[in-house]
């Protein structure tokens, strides 16, 4: 069973193949309409369940479109509308769904939910974001970096802001793809200790960004964070906003990334998001291509 649960639990050689296949599949579709079928229809005859226990725009649409382009079929399920949201166990849900579908993608809260789904499913399970990680996003981000600026190996990537789930997958990727990752943010919002050793900390954002090849940020308040923390987080993170002044410390050809959705002029200014360094919409597009390659990896097709 080939699940895609996290970047650190997937072989580096498989991660490399996924990126390369994503780029090749993207190139093969050049000039086609979004709904056009891929030539080889690798998911023909396959049914995919997409389960969401949290909101989503990119993950929902990119997985759905990706399956259809490859000739498969999808069902998009809201966790709240399933018996899962009303007391049925994850293990029973996994065993039942495995009788109907060939692949399960789930976006959920606790990582334990994802792991239990994977343990009891007899079909591959893909992590579409948990409170702890967001591996599909970072596969799209590595693909986007390499399309624009070549191999990410040995490059300097700087994360400015909250040490959250998206950062965690960047930390896992730093080891697997061999790039240097610097975290700059306030100490109370440091990444979880399990990630120690995968990145370095520089509290001064200007010093952190000096010579960066890539600057990344994300929302200051994630979906699993209590809204009551909003004001405190804004006060803690204001000094880590990605603005033109901060970007001026990076390399001239540095890229700026944000997984989106963004709160414009909080974690990043519109001048950066819409400026010459920004590749935020390429990242969003590449969710589609990278995830198609992830699904093929999981299904062995």
Phi, psi of 116 (to 5 degrees): -70, -40
Is 218 among the catalytic positions?
yes
* Minimum CB distance to ligand CP smaller for 129 or for 208: 129
CB of 300 to ligand CP, least distance (A): 25
Q: How many CA atoms lie within 13 A of 283 on its CB side?
A: 22
Residues that bind ligand NVA (CB under 6 A): 129, 164-166, 218-219, 222-223, 259
CB of 223 to ligand NVA, least distance (A): 4
Q: Which of residues 261-280 bind ligand CP (CB under 6 A)?
A: 261
CB of 264 to ligand CP, least distance (A): 15
Partner interacting with residue 165 (select from ligand CP, ligand NVA, none; CB below 5-8 Å by kind): ligand NVA
Angle separating helix axes 58-69 and 280-299, nearest 10 degrees:
50
CB of 206 to ligand CP, least distance (A): 27
Q: How far apart, in whole angstroms, are the C-alpha atoms of residue 270 and residue 278?
A: 10
Q: Which of residues 92-121 bind ligand CP (CB under 6 A)?
A: none
Q: Which of residues 127-156 bind ligand CP (CB under 6 A)?
A: 129, 137
Q: How many CA atoms lie within 13 A of 255 on its CB side?
A: 22
CA angle 80, 44, 300 (to 5 degrees): 85
Q: How far apart, in whole angstroms, are the C-alpha atoms of residue 255 and residue 260?
A: 15
Residue with tokens 């624009």: 148
Is 136 among the catalytic positions?
no
Q: Is beta strand 214-217 parallel, antiparallel or unpaired with respect to 255-258?
A: parallel
The candidate with the shortest Cα–Cα distance to 257, out of 213, 203, 294, is 213
Q: How far apart, in whole angstroms, are the C-alpha atoms of residue 210 and residue 187?
A: 20
| Dihedral (CA of 181, 184, 187, 188) sign | negative
Partner interacting with residue 57 (select from ligand NVA, ligand CP, none; CB below 5-8 Å by kind): ligand CP
Is 296 among the catalytic positions?
no
Is 58 among the catalytic positions?
no
Which of these is catalytic: 8, 132, 134, 277? Answer: 134
Partner interacting with residue 164 (select from ligand CP, ligand NVA, none; CB below 5-8 Å by kind): ligand NVA
56 binds ligand CP (CB under 6 A): yes
* Minimum CB distance to ligand CP smaller for 209 or for 259: 259
SS3 186: coil
- Residues contributing to the site for ligand CP (CB under 6 A): 56-59, 129, 137, 259-261
Residues recognised as catalytic? 107, 134, 137, 218, 259, 287
């Amino acid at each position: 069973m080939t699940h895609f649960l996290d970047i650190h639990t997937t072989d580096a050689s498989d991660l490399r193949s996924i990126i390369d296949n994503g780029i090749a599949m993207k190139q093969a579709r050049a000039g086609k309409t979004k709904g056009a079928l891929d030539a080889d229809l690798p998911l023909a005859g396959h049914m995919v369940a997409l389960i969401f226990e949290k909101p989503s725009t990119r993950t929902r649409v990119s997985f759905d479109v990706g399956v259809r382009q490859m000739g498969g079929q999808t069902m998009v399920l809201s966790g709240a509308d399933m018996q899962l949201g009303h007391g049925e166990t994850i293990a029973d849900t996994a065993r039942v769904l495995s009788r109907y579908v060939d692949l399960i993608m789930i976006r959920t809260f606790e990582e334990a939910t994802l792991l239990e789904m994977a343990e009891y499913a007899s079909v591959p399970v893909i992590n579409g974001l948990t409170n702890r990680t967001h591996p599909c996003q970072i596969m799209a981000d590595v693909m986007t970096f390499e399309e624009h600026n070549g191999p990410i190996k040995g490059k300097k990537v700087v994360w400015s802001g909250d040490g959250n789930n998206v950062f965690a997958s960047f930390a896992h990727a730093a080891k697997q793809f061999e790039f240097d990752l610097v975290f700059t943010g306030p100490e109370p919002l440091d990444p979880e200790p399990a990630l120690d050793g995968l990145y370095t900390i520089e509290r001064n954002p200007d010093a952190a960004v000096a010579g960066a090849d890539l600057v990344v940020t994300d929302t200051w308040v994630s979906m699993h964070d209590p809204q009551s923390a909003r004001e405190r987080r804004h006060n803690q993170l204001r000094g880590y906003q990605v603005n033109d002044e901060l970007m001026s410390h990076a390399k001239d050809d540095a890229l700026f990334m944000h997984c989106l959705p963004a709160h414009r002029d909080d974690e990043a200014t519109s001048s950066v998001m819409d400026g010459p360094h920004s590749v935020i919409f390429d990242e969003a597009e590449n969710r589609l291509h990278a995830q198609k390659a992830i699904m093929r990896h999981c299904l062995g097709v």
